[in-house]
């Protein structure tokens, strides 16, 4: 027969197994499956293309880092104005016209477009300090904006990232001269009469009133151009050339003189 001490040892051993047995077995069981939201993301190769689940939420395409270069309109205007100032300084000193500066970074096909009176007896590109291929010249009597001009400018803004449009009038414009007494009436005469009435209302010279009015007409007739102006990706400005000297007077607003657009 077993002694009392041996029986007591067996009892203690059985008691320990009954208490520690479940814990020892749990150490050899598989851990519970983690909730999907708490799973670690799978490892991918350094150059692997991200899957749809790894892309930015709501984006159907893989993320890209290609820059979208666009010449800001305020920089385009500063470039054109500096070019004209250099041309005017050389003319004042009776020097040859300066070599046009390198086109600014981000420019599309054209640095600017100019709606100009067809009677202006000067080359527009050198006057602005630009190369001929850097300026889109739209000559029309007046300069009167037409639907065709508006459509052409819309295409240039959309397809060629055009940042700047100038509406350029000039003094001594034959189109704006009063018709001879009893002379024939035509479309240009009617538009000239409207321009004269607007100039009287504004109490401005007819050349300045016409340039301002045609700018307003261009934006009023094109929602696309007006939207680009509101987004500060396009600037439409009026100006006047002095026929004899070639000097340009800019009809700019204070906001047009800022090097950068104000914070909205």
Please name the residue that has the structure tokens 């599309």. 108
pLDDT (average), residues 223-249: 94
pLDDT (average), residues 76-105: 93
Query: How far is the C-alpha of 15 from the C-alpha of 12, rounded, in Å?
Result: 5
Query: How far is the C-alpha of 113 from the C-alpha of 151, rounded, in Å?
Result: 13
Query: How far is the C-alpha of 209 from the C-alpha of 214, rounded, in Å?
Result: 9
CB 80 within 8 A of CB 128: yes
Query: How far is the C-alpha of 200 from the C-alpha of 197, rounded, in Å?
Result: 5
| Residue 22, pLDDT score | 52
Q: Which CATH class is domain 73-97+108-176+187-252?
A: alpha beta
pLDDT (average), residues 114-129: 92
174's tokens: 């034959």
| Residue 262, pLDDT score | 45
Residue 241 has φ and ψ, to the nearest 5°, of -100, 135
pLDDT (average), residues 179-205: 85
CB 234 within 8 A of CB 195: no
| Residue 142, pLDDT score | 82
Give the pLDDT confidence of 21-56 residue by residue, as tens digits. 555 444 445 555 544 444 555 555 555 545 444 444
pLDDT(59) > 50: yes
- Provide the pLDDT confidence category of residue 58 given band limits of 50, 70 and 90: low
What residues contact residue 88 under an 8 Å CB cut-off, 6+ apart?
245, 246, 247
Among residues 245, 252, 251, 236, which one has the least CA distance to residue 122? 245
What's the Cα-to-Cα distance from 41 to each of 2, 14, 93, rounded to whole Å?
Answer: 61, 46, 71
160 Rama sector, left if φ>0, alpha if ψ -120 to 50, beta otherwise: alpha
Cα of first residue to Cα of last residue in the chain, in angstroms, is 100
pLDDT (average), residues 90-107: 91
Helix (H, G, I), strand (E, B) or coil at 90: helix
Helix (H, G, I), strand (E, B) or coil at 138: strand
């Amino acid at each position: 027969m077993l002694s009392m001490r041996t029986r007591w040892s067996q009892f203690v051993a059985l008691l320990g197994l009954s208490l520690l047995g479940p814990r020892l077995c749990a150490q050899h069981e598989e851990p519970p499956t983690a909730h999907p939201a708490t799973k670690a993301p799978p490892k991918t190769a350094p150059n692997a293309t991200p899957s749809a689940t790894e892309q930015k939420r709501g984006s159907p395409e893989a993320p890209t880092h290609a820059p979208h270069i666009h010449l800001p309109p305020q920089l385009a205007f500063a470039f054109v104005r500096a070019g004209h100032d250099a041309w005017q300084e050389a003319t004042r000193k009776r020097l040859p016209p300066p070599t046009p500066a390198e086109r600014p970074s981000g420019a599309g096909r054209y640095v600017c477009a100019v709606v100009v009176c067809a009677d202006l007896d000067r080359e527009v590109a050198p006057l602005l300090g630009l190369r001929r291929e850097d300026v889109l010249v739209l000559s029309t009597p007046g300069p009167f904006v037409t639907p065709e001009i508006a459509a052409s400018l819309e295409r240039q803004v959309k397809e060629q990232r055009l940042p700047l449009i100038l509406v350029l009038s000039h003094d001594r414009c034959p189109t704006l001269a009063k018709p001879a007494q009893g002379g024939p009436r035509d479309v240009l005469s009617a538009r000239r009469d409207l321009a004269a009435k607007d100039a009287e209302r504004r109490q401005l010279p007819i050349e300045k009133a016409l340039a301002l009015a045609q700018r307003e007409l261009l934006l009023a007739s094109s929602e696309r151009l007006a939207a680009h102006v509101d987004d500060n990706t396009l600037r439409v400005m009026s100006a006047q050339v002095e026929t004899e000297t070639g000097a340009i007077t800019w009809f700019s607003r204070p906001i047009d003189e800022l090097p950068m657009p104000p914070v909205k």
